[in-house]
Amino acid sequence: MPNLEKKEKEEDKLQFLICSACNGLGEINGNVCPQCHDLGVVAWFNNSLLYWSKKIDTRAIYHDRLESAFNKFINIILVIFGIIGLAALGWYIWNLDFSSALSRSILASQIFWSKLSFFIEIFWFSVLTNMFLIYRVERKRGLRAKLAHQTYETKEMGVKLFPPANWIEAEKMDKKLKINVAKAFSPEAIESIKKAYRLSTRFKNLEVASAHLFASLFAFSKINIIFARLGTDSKALVERIGWLLADLPVSEGEIYISTELKKYFFRAYKEAYEGKNDQVDVTELLLTLAKDNEKISETLLDLDVDLNKIKNVIQWVRVREIMRGKMQRFRGSAKLKPKGAMDRAMTAMATPHLDQFSNDLTLLARSGYLAPCIGREKEIEEIFRIIEGGRGSAILVGNPGVGKTSIVEGMAERMVEEDVPMILQDKRLVSLSISRLISGVSASEAQERLLIILDEIVRAGNVILFIDNLQEIVGITSGGEESMDLSDVLAQALAKKYFFCLTTAAPADYAKYIENNPLGNVLHKVDVREVDENAAIQIIEAKSGNIEYRNNVYFSYDAVAAIVKLSSRYIHERYLPEKAISILEEVAVYARKQRGEGAVVMADDVANIISEKTGINLTKVTEKESEKLLHLEETIHNRVIGQEEAVIAVASSLRRARAELRENKRPIANLLFLGPTGVGKTELAKTVADVYFGNENNMIRLDMSEYQDKASIYRLIGAPGEAGILTEAVRKNPFTLLLLDEMEKAHPDILNVFLQVMDDGRLTDSLGRTIDFTNIILIATSNAGTQFIQEQVKLGTPGEEIKQKLMETELKSYFRPEFLNRFDGIIVFKPLNLEQVIQITKLMLQGVVKRLEEKGINFSASDQAVEELAKIGFDPIFGARPLRRAVQEKVDNALADYLLRGELKRRDIAVLEPGGVIRIEKAKEL
Amino acid sequence: MFTVALQVIIDFIKDILYFPLWWYSAGAAKAFLFSLNKIRNMARQLGLKIWVANLFRPMFGQYDFAGRVISFFIRLVQIIARSIMMVVWIVLMLILFLIWLALPPFIIYQIIINFS
């Protein structure tokens, strides 16, 4: 049980000392406990002794209430008095006689201050009360203790102190080591405890327990916002809280805070400390209750809320507060940044050419046009290190959408705040547009332009150059043998290190154009990787505010998590966080259009959008659909006759996939269909494609007989520098059925390729891209051992036995055992009997009925005629394959003749009769 | 409940008694920090440090002799002007702080003379 161990370890960090005399209650029979002096429980945490010394009982609650009302009253009186004082002063000045020289001099001179008057007296007194008001407000603000956070230095000191073993030691401890946790609680958090106390009074529970606190937390908007974000059903929540409270024992007597609850106060403090918060707020109380209280965490789990979700939502609320603070600070410091091209030291010079071909990013950031950059501190620091270390310029290499530009914009923002290394302070970050630079001129003129611009940059001395998509600059040359490439011009300038340059490129472009170019030598590579899912969630959370505001909708946490999870799983080709952000925007509009303004965006909305984009059914399994899934066999049998075993195997693997019970690292199902030709192998595969992927054409079909030599592997995964047939098809449509016909005919080396696909669910193509195969259904068909199957079926051997024998003997010559082992199911299709062929004939004739219906003509066939047709079409060796031809010849051809001759018209009935005759019943003329 | 009310009143009286003490201890410190902060902001805004650091660097990239000489004097003038502004601001802020310190006796004096 590694989970339990971890929990215990965390508990180690918070060691409780519970008073043995009073059992942690702090009092014995209404008197203060002589041993612990009313503390009851203390906790040792991080070299400090935590204690709780705020009394919470009826008297204390009453006292706090009275005091708060009284204080409000006093403050109002003080404000009123301040106004009266000002009025008195005004009245006094108003009544001065300005016509006399004396009054004018009174106002201006010292006499004003020493002139005696009742009104002036009032005014001075009001100044005193105003001072008193300032004192009260400021002092109250000062009383709230902030959590003492470890700084880097204190952490390094590393003196390990030991917790007190008993109460005598605890009492003797240095005062500096003792922390009154209650002081660090926010007013709201204290209020929630009081509410819990009142709640337990109301329910006549002697002990104020964690359930009371949990219930009382919902009186606070912060907690309600969290649960709204979590999309919790409020009715169910209220009901469950009711159950929790109903579980508690009821009795009469003096109500007290339970020792258990006190422990949660300390745990909440620990949460706040670890979360680097200034105060212990209601959110920390919620967090610790959800984390450490088994009943509450179970209750929440029943509502589909786990600890990680709560943590992420709390983080969400906090990220917004942090961003708001950041924005204010940004505005403050942005004022100091110069508006134009000039630096504050006035050493720069105008750069008219550069300005013509560029955007000033710092200027844009200063005016607030750039979106804030979140969670990319690591990359920005790396760029700073490169620049500061004098190594020159950097290139950000990453796939489109991973946030390269965002990093550069984040840098621009930090440059505005001057939160950058010395060398970057008081500089501009200017983005040069290559397309503008080269448009409309020849290569040599473009070079001239670039040279002038670079010269300007060097002379100005305050420009950091940014070039997006650097590969665009490579290969622009006037063509002569000795003529220079545009990229060489830049490379030479950068090599001198007169200025810094930031550039970006996609990995493939970097490898192809830049790495082996002179530019590659002067640019230091910074890898920008796709963010992981958790970081993407945080980015989405930070971006959501703006989008919510614009669309007037609200995102639930589930929706945000689903956006990241589903887009990373189902949308390939694009990268996080860009793809998630675009879904975020789309889903907000979708929810508003569907349900109007004020709608809450749920995970299902996200699934809908992504389903629409990918064509995969991702929505939650609805009741209607689960009904359909449970009866999948019947649905399949509508198209496939017989082959019970095969249908069951396929149906159950589809159910597993839809209920998300499958392994995510492998394809949805790997199936091998064995059997003679014409028994329904391909038909079943088509049906699966129709049922699961929505369309029977949604399949990639490879005839493996075309891959008989070793070299044909390159057709599958691509020759170097080219895309392969298989990999490209799956890359473009990862949700598909992969049908490998006549598997036994492929070269053994090719089978090895599929070994990898079936085991790991991925394949690397010759371009180095990893293709995801985890959302395909792989079906291989094979005629191997057909003879054997037919013989055994004739002998009446049971199906399981045939399969066993087949694998032990016949198949061995075609497939290696490890290959066969990779299949989830090896399904033997049995030869069809006449009964089944008749049913198939009926199905085929249904097709004829459908086609004729379009022309308004009815068609029917007598049973005898169907049987006759079936006998013609049935062949023990070719199965039902000749049947199609028989239907074509006997039915379709005759009907076509009638239609052409005009003997078969709308509303007529065509009847297929024994002997292959088609009789026509003429409809009445209208 | 009477005892509770009494306690609130007593607390309030204690509060009043602590008021002058606070004004000259924690309050004064706060006022001082406020002034200091204002001075700091002004210093950042004037960028005096930047001007001094770049005294010998020519302005607008004019690295020729004439440019250097002109720049030096322009910068000198700027530095002097900015220094004066800075000094004035510091004095203003100090006065603000001194007002904080002087306010209580002054007001009490005013109340007394007006009363009599």
Rounded Cα distance, A22 and A210, in Å? 20
- Closest Cβ opposite residue B8 in set A63, A124, A348: A63
Residue A439, domain member (yes or no): yes
The answer to whether the Cβ–Cβ distance between A67 and B44 falls below 8 Å is: no
pLDDT at A455 over 50: yes
Residue A897, domain member (yes or no): yes
Distance from CA of A768 to the nearest CA of B (A): 50
DSSP state of A213: H
Name residues 497-556 of chain A within 8 A of B (Cβ): none
DSSP state of A740: E
The residue in chain B having the minimum alpha-carbon distance to the alpha carbon of residue A126 is B107
Co-location of A870 and A759 in the same domain: no
Name residues 273-302 of chain A within 8 A of B (Cβ): none
Distance from CA of A76 to the nearest CA of B (A): 15
Confidence band of A156 (pLDDT split at 50, 70, 90) = very low
Residue, of A826 and B100, whose pLDDT is higher:
B100
* Residue A63 with chain B: CB contacts under 8 Å: 4, 7-8
Number of H helices, E strands in chain A: 43, 26
The mean-pLDDT minimum among A82-91, A438-447, A807-816 falls in: A807-816
Cβ–Cβ under 8 Å, residues A789 and A763: no
- Closest Cβ opposite residue B22 in set A114, A127, A139: A139
* Residue B51 with chain A: CB contacts under 8 Å: 345
Predicted local confidence at residue B83, as pLDDT:
93
pLDDT at B90 over 90: yes
Residue A307, domain member (yes or no): no
Distance from CA of A119 to the nearest CA of B (A): 9
Q: A436: part of which helix (H) or strand (E)? A: helix A434-438
The answer to whether the Cβ–Cβ distance between B103 and A131 falls below 8 Å is: yes
What are phi and psi for residue A469, nearest 5 degrees?
Answer: 50, 65
For chain B, say whether A191 makes contact (Cβ under 8 Å).
no
Residue, of A112 and A119, whose pLDDT is higher:
A119
The pLDDT tens digits of the residues spanning A428-449 come to: 899 999 888 888 888 888 888 8
Find residue A875's DSSP bridge partners.
A879
Co-location of A544 and A600 in the same domain: yes
**Average pLDDT of span A210-223:** 91
| Cis preceding-peptide flag for A577 (omega within 30 of 0) | yes
Co-location of A756 and A686 in the same domain: yes
Predicted local confidence at residue A622, as pLDDT:
54
Q: Which of A73, A116, A122, A124 to mutate to test the interface with B (most CBs of B within 10 A)?
A: A124
Residues A820, A821, A823: CA angle, nearest 5 degrees:
75
The pLDDT tens digits of the residues spanning A536-555 come to: 888 888 888 888 888 888 88
Rounded Cα distance, A221 and A665, in Å? 42
Range of the domain at A704: 623-828
Task: State the helix-helix crossing angle for A307-334 and A404-417, rounded to 10 degrees.
Answer: 50
Confidence band of A835 (pLDDT split at 50, 70, 90) = confident
For chain A, say whether B5 makes contact (Cβ under 8 Å).
yes
* Residue B50 with chain A: CB contacts under 8 Å: 344-345, 426
**What's the predicted TM-score (pTM) here?**
0.69
For chain B, say whether A461 makes contact (Cβ under 8 Å).
yes
Q: Hey, is A571 helix, strand or coil?
A: coil
Predicted local confidence at residue A11, as pLDDT:
43
Q: With CA atoms as reference, report the closest residue to A132 among B16, B1, B88.
A: B16
Predicted local confidence at residue A113, as pLDDT:
56
Predicted local confidence at residue A158, as pLDDT:
54
Q: State the CB neighbour count (10 A cutoff) for residue A776.
A: 23
**Average pLDDT of span A561-574:** 84
Q: State the CB neighbour count (10 A cutoff) for residue A78.
A: 18
pLDDT at A810 over 70: yes
The answer to whether the Cβ–Cβ distance between A66 and B8 falls below 8 Å is: yes
Predicted local confidence at residue A106, as pLDDT:
58
**Average pLDDT of span A353-376:** 85
The mean-pLDDT minimum among A260-264, A285-289, A371-375, A607-611 falls in: A371-375
- Closest Cβ opposite residue B107 in set A62, A66, A128: A128
Distance, first Cα to last Cα, chain A: 82
Residues 6+ apart with CB under 8 A from A284: A189, A268, A269, A271, A272, A275, A277
Predicted local confidence at residue A4, as pLDDT:
40
Q: Where are the alpha helices (DSSP H) in A177-306?
A: 181-184, 187-202, 210-217, 221-229, 234-246, 259-274, 282-292, 294-302
For chain B, say whether A419 makes contact (Cβ under 8 Å).
no
Q: Measured between alpha carbons, how far is residue A229 from residues A223, A232, A600 in Å?
A: 10, 8, 9
Cβ–Cβ under 8 Å, residues A197 and A256: no
The pLDDT tens digits of the residues spanning A405-424 come to: 999 998 998 888 888 888 88
The answer to whether the Cβ–Cβ distance between A460 and B57 falls below 8 Å is: no
Co-location of A687 and A593 in the same domain: no
**Average pLDDT of span B21-49:** 90
Tokens of A191: 């209020």
**Average pLDDT of span A10-14:** 58
Confidence band of A9 (pLDDT split at 50, 70, 90) = very low
Q: With CA atoms as reference, report the closest residue to A528 among A420, A399, A435.
A: A399
- Average pLDDT over chain A reads 82
The residue in chain A having the minimum alpha-carbon distance to the alpha carbon of residue B59 is A347
Confidence band of B84 (pLDDT split at 50, 70, 90) = very high
The answer to whether the Cβ–Cβ distance between A63 and B45 falls below 8 Å is: no
Residues A400, A401, A405: CA angle, nearest 5 degrees:
90
Co-location of A371 and A389 in the same domain: yes
**Average pLDDT of span A894-905:** 81
For chain B, say whether A132 makes contact (Cβ under 8 Å).
yes
Predicted local confidence at residue A153, as pLDDT:
42
**Average pLDDT of span B7-27:** 91
For chain B, say whether A138 makes contact (Cβ under 8 Å).
yes
* Residue B104 with chain A: CB contacts under 8 Å: 128, 131
For chain A, say whether B24 makes contact (Cβ under 8 Å).
no
Co-location of A433 and A549 in the same domain: no
Q: With CA atoms as reference, report the closest residue to A182 among A244, A83, A266, A270.
A: A266
Per the structure, the count of domains in chain A is: 4
Residues 6+ apart with CB under 8 A from A271: A280, A284, A287, A288, A291
The segment with the largest mean pLDDT, out of A77-81, A330-334, A344-348, A771-775, is A77-81
pLDDT at A105 over 80: no
Q: State the CB neighbour count (10 A cutoff) for residue A543.
A: 19
Predicted local confidence at residue A3, as pLDDT:
43
Tokens of A712: 């044909």
**Average pLDDT of span A262-274:** 89
pLDDT at B32 over 80: yes
Find residue A911's DSSP bridge partners.
A860, A919
* Residue A460 with chain B: CB contacts under 8 Å: 61
* Residue B107 with chain A: CB contacts under 8 Å: 124, 127-128, 131
Co-location of A482 and A499 in the same domain: yes
For chain B, say whether A58 makes contact (Cβ under 8 Å).
no
pLDDT at A10 over 50: no
Residue, of A249 and A877, whose pLDDT is higher:
A249
List, as own/partner pairs, every contact residues A76-79 make where C-beta atoms lie below 8 angstroms and the sequence separation is at least 24, other chains included.
A78/A129, A78/A130, A78/A132, A78/A133, A78/A136, A79/A133
Co-location of A809 and A672 in the same domain: yes
The ipTM value here is: 0.87
The residue in chain A having the minimum alpha-carbon distance to the alpha carbon of residue B105 is A128
Residue A185, domain member (yes or no): no
Co-location of A507 and A590 in the same domain: no
Residue A632, domain member (yes or no): yes
The answer to whether the Cβ–Cβ distance between A347 and B45 falls below 8 Å is: no
The mean-pLDDT minimum among A22-36, A103-117, A550-564 falls in: A103-117
pLDDT at A217 over 80: yes
Residue A381, domain member (yes or no): yes
Per 3-state DSSP, chain A is made up of helix, strand and coil in percentages (nearest 5) of 55, 10, 30
Q: What percent of chain A has pLDDT over 90?
A: 12
**Average pLDDT of span A577-582:** 89
For chain B, say whether A821 makes contact (Cβ under 8 Å).
no
DSSP state of A485: P
**Of A828, A858, A873, which residue sits at a domain end?**
A828
Residue position matching structure tokens 């958090």: A189
The residue in chain A having the minimum alpha-carbon distance to the alpha carbon of residue B115 is A121
The pLDDT tens digits of the residues spanning A853-870 come to: 887 888 888 888 888 888
Rounded Cα distance, A737 and A450, in Å? 53
Co-location of A557 and A586 in the same domain: yes
CATH number of residue A400's parent domain: 3.40.50.300
Rounded Cα distance, A853 and B93, in Å? 95
For chain B, say whether A66 makes contact (Cβ under 8 Å).
yes
Residue, of A205 and A881, whose pLDDT is higher:
A205
- Closest Cβ opposite residue B61 in set A66, A134, A349: A349
For chain B, say whether A59 makes contact (Cβ under 8 Å).
yes
Q: Measured between alpha carbons, how far is residue A620 from residues A42, A602, A626 in Å?
A: 48, 11, 10
Distance from CA of A136 to the nearest CA of B (A): 8
* Residue A138 with chain B: CB contacts under 8 Å: 26-27, 30
Cβ–Cβ under 8 Å, residues A158 and A169: no
The residue in chain B having the minimum alpha-carbon distance to the alpha carbon of residue A113 is B110
Rounded Cα distance, A463 and B76, in Å? 26
Torsion region of A390: left, alpha or beta (phi above 0 gives left; psi -120 to 50 gives alpha): left
Length of chain B: 116
The amino acid at A506: A
The pLDDT tens digits of the residues spanning A603-615 come to: 888 888 888 887 6
* Residue A426 with chain B: CB contacts under 8 Å: 50
Residue, of A833 and A426, whose pLDDT is higher:
A426
Residue A43, domain member (yes or no): no
Co-location of A512 and A571 in the same domain: no
Rounded Cα distance, A91 and A123, in Å? 10
- Closest Cβ opposite residue B1 in set A62, A125, A142: A62
CATH number of residue A561's parent domain: 1.10.8.60
Q: Measured between alpha carbons, how far is residue A391 from residues A246, A423, A501, A665, B32 in Å?
A: 68, 13, 11, 42, 45
**Of A527, A559, A575, which residue sits at a domain end?**
A527
**Average pLDDT of span A751-775:** 84
Residue A262, domain member (yes or no): no
DSSP A644-676: HHHHHHHHHHHHHHHTT-S-TTS-SEEEEEE--
Sign of CA dihedral A38, A43, A49, A52: negative
Q: B90: part of which helix (H) or strand (E)? A: helix B65-115
**Of A828, A844, A870, which residue sits at a domain end?**
A828
Co-location of A503 and A647 in the same domain: no
